[in-house]
Amino acid sequence: MADVLVTGGSGYIGSWCVLALLAHGHTVRTTVRDLNKESAVREMLRAGGAPEDAKLTVLQADLQQDSGWREAVEGCHYVLHVASPTLTSLSQSDDDMVGPARDGVLRVLRAAREAGVKRVVLTSAFGAVGMGHPEKSRVFTEEDWSNVDGGIAPYQKSKTLSEKAAWDFVAEHGGVELAVVNPVGVFGPVLGPDYSPSLGLLQRMLDGELPALPKFAMGYVDVRDVADLHLRAMTDPVAAGERFLAISGHSLWVRDIATILRDRLGDRASKVPTRELPVWTARALARINPGLRILRPQLGKNFDATSEKAQRMLGWSPRPIEDTIADTAESLLALRGATV
């Protein structure tokens, strides 16, 4: 038996949530789409400090299939629903992202409700909060929702509509509590090659693959702090029915990240660019550059947010983002060295 289910234990946030739960003495069950991933999951957890005899069971369940979910939630008091379709190519459409994300959330909620689970904590994203708005600079809170008609990317639309579907389900059917965590860009140490797409920016900067820095600002947060916030939202009575933005401090321009990398890593960050690409140039290049094209709605904008609510209600205290960026870069360099 297990008292907590974590969906998507092979993913970046999911694996750190499993580690945090094990460290707090929970008996954990996690799902993967393919049981062939079990050995990789356990290897990542060992890399993160989990003991060999960790109280963990790995089960197979696919968000696009009904089978497996009754067994996954059976006997659990809590569910952390972390798994969701992620952007695997720049050409993915709304249909590729929205339907699978929404259907998966509803499958997990139905199974949890039928099994008598006390609370589900859903991993949403800032993409469900602050996208599709015309302002160039604004501090977003949990009261905000992304405008799905504002030309936002498929991933952001999927996060927005799947989270709204979750709130609608609980409002209509009851029987299970819901809390939601909305992280901004997630940085932090990597446990293996399957990590957050947000880290691709740091990797490209360290590898010298960016000739110049795109001009936009957004918030970032440590994956270890995201996992901690999930646990607080899981057990604190005041978290039921609430959303919680997860951000460390305030937003950073990409040039700020570059400065932190050079300051903390010295010569090992010698390939990190120093020049910022003018917005008008980036917009022109976006016509032929797929990487810039996906960033086009963000160019020149400052997507800031506040985690005041999580700190006030749940006592959450994220670490300084400068430390997170340094730790992330160190782990990416170590991973690259181990795989060369």
Under DSSP, the state recorded for 276 is B
| Alpha carbons 9 and 55: distance in angstroms, whole number | 14
159 is catalytic: yes
Point out the least confidently predicted range of 9-13, 195-199, 286-290, 315-319: 286-290
How high is the pLDDT of residue 92? 57
The pLDDT value recorded for residue 91 is 41
pLDDT in tens, 14-45: 999 999 999 999 999 999 999 999 999 999 99
Tokens of 32: 């993967």
Which residue shows structure tokens 């702090």?
225
**Domains detected in the chain:** 4-339 (3.40.50.720)
H-assigned helices in the chain? 12-23, 38-47, 69-73, 94-115, 154-173, 199-206, 223-235, 254-265, 279-285, 290-295, 308-314, 321-339
Q: Reduce the DSSP state of residue 168 to 3 states and report it.
A: helix
- Can you read off the two tokens belonging to residue 313? 């209600």
Rounded to an integer, the average pLDDT of 221-232 is 98
Tokens of 130: 């602050």
pLDDT at 282 over 70: no
Q: What is the pTM of this model?
A: 0.94
Please report the pLDDT score of residue 48 as a whole number.
Answer: 94
Q: CA 189, CA 254: separation in Å to the nearest integer?
A: 19
Q: Is the pLDDT of residue 90 over 50?
A: no
Q: Which member of 118, 136, 157, 159 is catalytic?
A: 159
pLDDT for 196: 74
CA distance 227 to 233: 10
Q: Are 199 and 187 in contact (CB under 8 A)?
A: yes
Per-residue pLDDT at 89: 42
Q: Which residue has 């030309």 as its token pair?
A: 151
